[in-house]
Structure 1
Amino acid sequence: MGESDESRLGTAGPVGSADDVPAEPEKPAEPAGEDERTAGEKKDRPAKKKGSGLLETLMYTLGGVVVALLVHTFLLQSFYIPSESMQNTLLVNDYVVVNKLAYKLGPVERGDIVVFKGWDGEDTIKRVIGVGGDHVKCCDAKHRITVNGTPLDEEGKYLYPGVHPSSMEFDVKVPKGRLWLMGDHRNNSADSRFYTDDGHQGTISEDDVIGRAFLRYWPLNRISFLSQPDTFSVVR
Structure 2
Amino acid sequence: MDHTKRQPRKVGWRFAFMAVILAVAVSGLVRSLWLDVYFIPSASMEPVLVGGDRILVSRTGFRTEPIRRGDIVVFDGRGTFAPLNSGNGPLVDTAAAVTQWLGLTGSDTTYVKRVIGLPGDSVACCDAGGNVTVNGEPLAEPYIFSGDAPSTQKFSAVVPDGRLWLMGDHRSLSADSRSLLGAPGGGMVPVDRVIGRPVQIIWPLDRFASVPRPPAGPTTENGQ
TM-score, normalised by the number of residues in structure 1: 0.70
Aligned to 1:135: 122
2:113 equivalent to 1:113: no
Q: Check 1:232–1:89 CA distance in 2 against 1; reply closer, same or farther (3 A cut).
A: farther
Aligned to 1:90: 49
- After superposition, residues 6-25 of structure 1 pair within 5 angstroms as none
The Cα offsets for residues 10-51 of structure 1, whole Å up to 9 and x where unpaired, read as xxxxxxxxxxxxxxxxxxxxxxxxxxxxxxxxxxxxxxxx99
Q: How many Å apart are 1:61 and its aligned residue?
A: 5.3
- Structure having the higher Rg: 1
Retained in 2: the 8 A contact 1:153–1:231? no
Moved segments of 4+, more than 4 Å: 50-63
For residues 232 and 129 of structure 1, what CA distance do their matches in structure 2 show? 14
2:117 equivalent to 1:126: no
For residues 150 and 205 of structure 1, what CA distance do their matches in structure 2 show? 24
2:166 equivalent to 1:181: yes
For residues 129 and 171 of structure 2, what CA distance do their matches in structure 1 show? 17
What is the identity percentage for the equivalent residue pairs of Structure 1 and Structure 2?
Answer: 41
- Structure with more contact order per residue of length (Cα contacts < 8 Å, sep ≥ 6): 2
Q: How many Å apart are 1:234 and its aligned residue?
A: 3.7
Aligned to 2:138: 151
Unaligned ranges ≥5, structure 1 = 1-49
- After superposition, residues 1-236 of structure 1 pair within 5 angstroms as 62-118=21-77, 119-120=81-82, 122-154=109-141, 157-230=142-215, 233-235=218-220, 236=224
Letter in 2 for 1:97: L
For residues 91 and 231 of structure 1, what CA distance do their matches in structure 2 show? 25
Retained in 1: the 8 A contact 2:140–2:219? no
TM-score, normalised by the number of residues in structure 2: 0.74
Paired residue secondary structure (1:127): strand
How many residue pairs end up in the alignment?
A: 189
